[in-house]
Amino acid sequence: MWNNNVASWTKAKKLLYRKFRERCPDIPTHYIHEAIRDASQRLKSFKKLKKKGLAKTDKPAVRRWSVGCDNQLWKLTLEGVRIAAHKGRVNIPLQFHKLFWRYYNNGWMLRSSARWKLIGDKLFLYVVF
């Protein structure tokens, strides 16, 4: 994307989807879409910072990463979360924070998207109400 000067999601998808699919044929399509969407958002942000003279490097670099999931890739249950993987869904038990239960029990509805991140041997799921 950087070499081709492409920042929009649709152009990046046309450019990169086939390469991702050939490299990782087993992963769900929505993960590829989310990766391309995340890359295009990061590239747009970098271009704005570079235009203002606030960018610290010549090329964008990813320091912290997380995986975005839309509603077709994850489902929250009271036992944990079910995340789509290359061979079906994987059940992952979660320990919910007490603030989560406060919001959940007061009738707040979860948004359809979530982000997860691996830190060491722990999986962190970031949900939005």
pTM of the entire predicted model: 0.73
pLDDT tens track for 44-95: 999 999 999 999 888 888 888 888 888 889 998 878 899 998 889 999 998 8
Rg (CA), the chain: 17
Query: For the chain, which residues make up each domain, given as ranges?
Result: 1-63, 67-127
| Angle at the Cα of 118 from the Cα atoms of 90 and 81, rounded to 5 degrees | 30
pLDDT tens track for 95-115: 888 998 899 899 998 888 888
Looking only at the bridges linking them, the beta strands covering 88-93 and 80-85 are antiparallel
Residues 6+ apart with CB under 8 A from 124: 116, 117, 118
Element (H, E) at 91: strand 88-93
Distances (CA, A) of 40 to 6, 9, 63, 76: 8, 6, 16, 28
pLDDT of residue 1: 62
Query: Which residues are registered as beta bridge partners of 89?
Result: 84
